Amino acid sequence: MVCRDLAAQIVVTEIFFRSTISPQKWGGKMNAKLSRRDLLERCAAFGAVSFLIPASLTEVASAWDASDAKRLTPTPSCELGPFYKRLAPHEAHMRNDHDAGMPLWVGGKVYSESGEALPEAKVEIWHTDHFGHYDNSGYRFRAALVSDAKGAYAFDSVMPGHYPQRVCQHVHYLVTAPGHKPLTTQMYFGTDPVFEGDPAKNYTRDPLVTSIELVRPVMIKGDPKAMMAAVNFDVVLERA
Amino acid sequence: MRTLTIVLLLTGAAFAQSMKFAAPCDSSKQVLSPAGDHLAVQCKNGSVHLLQLPGGRELRSETPNTRVATHEFSPDGRWLGLGFNDGTVEVWSATTDAEPVRWSAGKKPVELLKFSPDRQLVLVGNTLDANEVWEFSGAPVKLATLSSDFGSFTSAAFSSDGKTMATTGADTVVRFFDTTTWKQIRENRDLTLEPFAVQFTRDGKQLVIGGADGQLSVLDAATAKTLRKLPAETDPIDQIQVVNANQVVAIYTDLDGRKPPHLKLWDLIAGSSTPIQIEPTVTGGGIAAGKIWLVKANTQEIELSTGK
């Protein structure tokens, strides 16, 4: 909360800089190498900034830097797809021992655009089995997860299969959190044969892949007898 | 995926038992107008053609720069709406030489168009999140943006008096809107899987819905409560067309693209169904005077004939 208040104050300060301080007031031109702290010190010396909060220049400068650095772009959306199903179980372990297909672990965090982790975001995911079939009568490979206090979520499953109407293997996401727009998107695998090892070049082979950001690197973990594909997929929600 | 479109022919227009004419192109989709006097043909080369029946005379054609995502006739057959991949909407007059009305309804592909029966209104839905109502009697004006929990509407139907519009959404919710205020007046959240098709029954008292659950759900239009669910099939229901007071045709389409669509005639009261046999060469069709009209289109010609 303190950080958020500080960030809000900094936005006000930044607008104040832009609207009232001309380059000439700094001795002819802006010094691009000024640190945030230097800038704030000089502003304070000229009376161009005042602080309504009990914080040192260093704290303000650090928070300002952090605020700039953490600004995140919302995750690109994709169409929902035809097989969303409400009321999926809150079960992160979707893989049974007898399931065909390479074991898959997916984890990530849910963030706001300002870079804050969003706890208790609802992360609904669904995908096909290894053979490319959705379970519409039941809830296999469907889950409704909730991000933890650090915004993290994770599930284990199997790598989804291909099916005739879709080019790429994919996992559907519907992510919702209070104060943010619902995100419907799909996550893809960099190892998908469709990409022929070069997702950056070939991701448009599936017209529904709206951004290379959605194609994630795959790490292979475990020993050769029990390998598992692991994928990290963070999502950023746009403020409502 | 083969798309088989069955359009209810409200007037029972006087078709011959069959008609045949030269095809304007190698077509991928054919839609009959509700009056049975026009056929819209979407071609594999991206062009769209409006043909007059029974002779097949071309009234208008266009090869747009972007793909047509959907096309739909108004209930009175006067208008043909085209929704494009770039968010553009065009409305063609099927009865005059007037220039098409054209506007932008966003940047996402337009995948749903549904005309009001009594005014020059059209619901426009795109693939992600915009559900907008536009009036096109003059310069197109957006009258309302309709909300859902997430995603766009997947289908819509107007009551015959035009006073109520029912929608189904990707969020699985069935909504009823007052078309005077565009306020939501009722909703039903009984479905768990996405619905794809909705129709009012002839008397307007019930709403029939089909979708990914492969079964018809019948709702009371006055209360939005579920009255009954008919037996489920394994394939999703992609379209529903009303045949008469108690019967509808459901079109089942394997959206995975593994097998061709199939049709069933359902009795809503008895809850029983009869398969409708169609030849693999059938590519579209319609219903008139209780009979199913089938379209067979190939690169050379288009044939319309009564079904068995």
Nearest CA in chain A to B128: A79
Q: Cβ contact (<8 Å) for B192 and A164?
A: no
- The residues of B whose Cβ lies within 8 A of any Cβ of A are 1, 127-128, 149-151, 170, 172, 191-194, 196, 212-214, 236, 255-258
Alpha-carbon Rg for chain B in angstroms: 18
pTM of the model: 0.79
Q: What is the edge-to-edge ordering of all strands in the sheet holding B184-188?
A: B153-158, B164-169, B174-178, B184-188
Residues B117-135, mean pLDDT to the nearest whole number: 84
B1 to chain A: which residues are within 8 Å by CB?
Answer: 165
Nearest to A165 among B127, B172, B256 (CB): B256
How much is the pLDDT for B7? 42
Distance from CA of A114 to the nearest CA of B (A): 22
Q: Cβ contact (<8 Å) for A82 and B212?
A: yes
* Cβ atoms within 10 Å, residue A20: 12
How much is the pLDDT for A34? 57
Distance from CA of A176 to the nearest CA of B (A): 9
Report d(CA A186, CA A166) in Å as an integer. 12
Nearest to B212 among A83, A174, A184 (CB): A83
- Any idea what DSSP says for residue A136? S
How much is the pLDDT for B256? 66
Residue B252 confidence (pLDDT) above 60: yes
Q: What is the pLDDT of residues B149-183, one digit of tens each?
A: 988 899 999 998 999 999 999 999 999 999 999 99
Q: Cβ contact (<8 Å) for B150 and A184?
A: yes
List residues bridging with A236 in a β-sheet. Answer: A111
Tokens linked to B292: 């199913």
Q: Can you give the pLDDT of all 240 residues of chain A as single tens digits? A: 333 333 333 333 333 333 333 333 333 333 445 565 665 566 566 655 565 666 676 676 666 666 655 689 999 998 887 789 999 999 999 999 999 999 999 999 999 999 999 999 999 999 999 999 999 889 999 999 999 999 999 999 999 999 887 899 999 999 999 999 999 999 999 999 999 999 999 999 988 888 999 999 999 988 888 889 999 999 999 999
B213 to chain A: which residues are within 8 Å by CB?
Answer: 136
How much is the pLDDT for B109? 87
Nearest CA in chain B to A131: B256
Nearest to B257 among A85, A165, A184 (CB): A165
Residues B122-130, mean pLDDT to the nearest whole number: 78
Distance from CA of B102 to the nearest CA of A (A): 25
Report d(CA B90, CA B121) in Å as an integer. 13
Kindly indicate the confidence band of residue B257, based on its pLDDT and cuts at 50, 70 and 90: low
Q: Determine contact, residues A213/A76, Cβ cutoff 8 Å.
A: yes
Residue A48 sits at φ, ψ, to 5 deg, of -85, -5
Q: What is the pLDDT of residues B33-83, one digit of tens each?
A: 887 888 999 998 889 999 998 889 999 999 878 888 899 999 888 999 999
Nearest CA in chain A to B1: A165
Distance from CA of B173 to the nearest CA of A (A): 10
B149 to chain A: which residues are within 8 Å by CB?
Answer: 182
Residue B50 sits at φ, ψ, to 5 deg, of -105, 115
* Cβ atoms within 10 Å, residue A114: 14
CB-count burial class (<10 Å; 0-12, 13-18, 19+) for A59: middle
- The residues of A whose Cβ lies within 8 A of any Cβ of B are 77, 79-80, 82-87, 132-134, 136, 163-165, 174, 176, 182, 184
ipTM: 0.76
Residue B14 confidence (pLDDT) above 50: no
Kindly indicate the confidence band of residue B19, based on its pLDDT and cuts at 50, 70 and 90: confident
List residues bridging with B57 in a β-sheet. Answer: B52
Residue with tokens 């054919």: B30
Q: Is the dihedral of CA B262, A206, A113, A234 positive or negative?
A: positive
Nearest to B213 among A136, A163, A165 (CB): A136
Question: Would you call the peptide bond into B195 cis, given omega within 30 degrees of 0 as the criterion?
Answer: no
A82 to chain B: which residues are within 8 Å by CB?
Answer: 194, 196, 212, 236, 255
How much is the pLDDT for B153? 93
- Taking 3-state DSSP, the helix, strand and coil percentages for chain B, each rounded to the nearest 5, stand at 0, 50, 50
